[in-house]
């Protein structure tokens, strides 16, 4: 564990992280998961791993994605249910990329109820859209991503906000959302996230 401190085997933390493209959500998810000693669970990573390994699930997902369709909720829900019932996730987890819809919010409630648990907090990384666009344009130039134009990047931002708005609204109504400024260095943002969670009694050093 960080700073030589160990977390108890009980307690854990059950978290969800959301944030617009370019806000460093993936990086912060990894940092948080390490700090709390819980698995980072990304539905996108699970799908990509299965596609790479050529599993039955991977073949099924690849066919859906190749046809231009979205992976159906039923399949995504089943994947998440299976993952959250595995031993390492029973004491805590960090979800990234799920739930994406209001229906999935309710399904996650049902999944967690099966293990007698519930979400502790939803970390929402917020960032000024223009600052995020500028960051992504700079990265696109450095990495030679000619397809990442300002128009494309802004469209992705709009899609994110349209998709996540009902999810965030649902969790705000429950008082679970913790808003954190996502701009700054990795360490700066991580410190903000952990401080905000600590204010709610969710402390990785407990």
Q: Per the domain annotation, does 199 fall within a domain?
A: no
Catalytic residue chosen out of the listed positions 81, 135, 154, 156: 156
Q: The CATH number of the domain where 60 resides is what?
A: 3.40.50.300
The one catalytic residue in 7, 25, 83, 194 is: 25
139 labelled catalytic: yes
Separation CA 29–CA 84 (nearest Å): 17
Q: Is residue 7 part of a domain?
A: no
Domain of residue 110 covers: 23-193
Domain presence at residue 206: no
pLDDT in tens, 155-204: 888 888 888 889 999 999 999 999 999 998 999 999 999 999 999 999 87
pLDDT single digits (tens) 39-75: 999 988 888 888 888 888 888 888 888 887 778 888 8
| Residue 25 annotated to the active site | yes
Q: Kindly state the percentage of the chain with pLDDT values over 90.
A: 47
The answer for 204, left when phi > 0, alpha when psi is -120 to 50, beta otherwise, is: alpha
Look up the pTM and report it.
0.84
Please give the Cα distance from 138 to 184 (Å, whole number).
15
Total number of domains constituting the chain: 1
6 falls within a domain: no
Q: Which two tokens stand for residue 116?
A: 């007698």
Residue 14 lies in a domain: no
The answer to whether 138 is a known catalytic residue is no
Asked if residue 66 belongs to a domain, the reply is yes
Decide if 174 is catalytic.
no
pLDDT in tens, 102-140: 899 999 999 999 989 999 999 999 999 899 899 899 988
């Amino acid at each position: 564990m960080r700073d030589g401190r160990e977390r108890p085997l009980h307690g854990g933390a059950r978290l969800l992280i959301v944030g617009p493209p370019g806000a460093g959500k993936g990086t912060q998810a990894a940092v948080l998961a390490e700090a709390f000693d819980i698995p980072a669970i990304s539905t996108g990573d699970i799908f990509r791993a299965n596609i790479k390994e050529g599993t039955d699930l991977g073949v099924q997902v690849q066919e859906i994605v190749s046809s231009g369709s979205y992976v159906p909720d039923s399949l995504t829900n089943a994947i998440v249910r299976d993952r959250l019932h595995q031993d390492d996730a029973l004491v805590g987890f960090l979800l990234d990329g799920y739930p994406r819809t209001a229906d999935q919010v309710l399904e996650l409630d049902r999944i967690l109820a099966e293990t007698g648990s519930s979400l502790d907090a939803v970390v929402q990384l917020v960032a000024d859209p223009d600052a995020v666009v500028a960051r992504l344009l700079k990265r696109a130039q450095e990495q030679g991503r000619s397809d990442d134009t300002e128009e494309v990047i802004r469209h992705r931002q709009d899609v994110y906000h349209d998709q996540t708005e009902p999810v965030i609204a649902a969790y705000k109504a429950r008082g679970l959302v913790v808003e954190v400024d996502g701009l700054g260095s990795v360490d700066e943002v991580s410190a903000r996230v952990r401080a905000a969670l600590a204010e709610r009694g969710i402390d990785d050093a407990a």
